């Protein structure tokens, strides 16, 4: 879902979070209580949008050479250098019974928690430097795919591979995970977890620091996420005099303009 009257206006997408997997907002993020057509109530956090200077478009025919030439002139940081600031951090996502732990350049873990203690766990992979290097060598522009020359920078991602996880009962092979870092504001967060084949996973991690790299920038405005946390059914929004009623969530579809997660 996109919002905006033209392609030059900021683009927004709504991400809904269940009651047991709430989005944690930044301190400066504003919020508004909204309801959808089914009558479900959400607290929606508006993104903090900073004005970004437009980047000159890159010619499709020689984008790689232009980026490499630019890199030589001004010593741009690589994607790995940009995301190095999260090296000592772990990030979590809760989905029902399971929780997921991603520790940058260390491991990916699937676990079930009871009283904040792991009572069941599987390693989805440990960081594999060699496999990651080989993957990136086989892809132009530091493994920023789907189409490194695409005008849509939101479709690009930078990959790390995590291998040699806990043995899978169904395949008798170790679990493996590909971490895909994408440019997205405002904070580092695990946005999706997919099992693409038995015991092989793809995890998408939003990283605002990647947006500093030219290959992740675009002439058109960047996508921003409006995160909506579902409120319990028995939770009533404030209705005191002077407070407005919850706003109904209405989605206005823009022209087809794909966003990859």
Provide the sign of the torsion angle of the four alpha carbons 215, 161, 203, 48, taken in this order: negative
Q: Would you say residue 253 has pLDDT above 90? A: no
CB atoms under 10 Å from CB of 245, counted, come to 10
pTM for this prediction: 0.56
pLDDT digits (tens, 9 = 90+) for 110-142: 999 888 788 889 999 999 999 998 887 765 544
In whole angstroms, give the CA distance from residue 91 to residue 109.
11
In whole angstroms, give the CA distance from residue 49 to residue 33.
20
> Domains in the chain, please, with CATH?
1-54+221-235 (no CATH), 79-218 (2.70.130.10)
46-50, 150-154, 193-197, 225-229: segment of lowest average pLDDT:
150-154
In whole angstroms, give the CA distance from residue 18 to residue 94.
10
In whole angstroms, give the CA distance from residue 145 to residue 160.
13
């Amino acid at each position: 879902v996109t919002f905006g009257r033209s392609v030059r206006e900021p683009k927004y997408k709504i991400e809904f979070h269940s009651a047991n997997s709430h989005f944690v907002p930044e301190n400066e993020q504003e919020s508004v209580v909204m309801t959808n057509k089914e009558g479900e109530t959400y607290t929606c956090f508006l993104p903090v949008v900073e004005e970004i200077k437009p980047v000159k478009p890159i010619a499709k025919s020689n984008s790689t050479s232009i980026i490499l030439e630019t890199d030589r002139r001004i010593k741009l940081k690589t994607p790995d250098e940009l995301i190095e600031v999260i090296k000592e951090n772990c990030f979590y996502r809760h989905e029902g019974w399971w929780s997921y732990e991603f520790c940058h350049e260390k491991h990916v873990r699937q676990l079930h928690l009871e009283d904040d203690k792991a009572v069941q766990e599987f390693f989805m992979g440990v960081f594999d430097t060699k496999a990651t290097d080989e993957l990136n060598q086989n892809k132009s522009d530091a493994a920023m795919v789907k189409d490194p020359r695409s005008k849509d920078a939101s479709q690009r991602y930078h990959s790390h591979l995590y291998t040699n996880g806990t043995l899978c009962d169904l395949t008798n092979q170790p679990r493996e995970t590909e971490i895909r870092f994408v440019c997205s504001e405002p904070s580092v967060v695990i946005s999706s977890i997919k099992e693409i084949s038995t015991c092989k996973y793809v995890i998408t991690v939003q990283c605002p620091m990647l947006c500093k790299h030219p290959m992740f920038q675009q002439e058109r405005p960047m996508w921003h996420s409006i995160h909506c946390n579902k409120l319990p059914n028995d939770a009533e929004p404030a209705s005191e005099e002077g407070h407005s009623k919850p706003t109904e969530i209405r989605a206005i579809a823009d022209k087809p303009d794909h966003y990859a997660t």
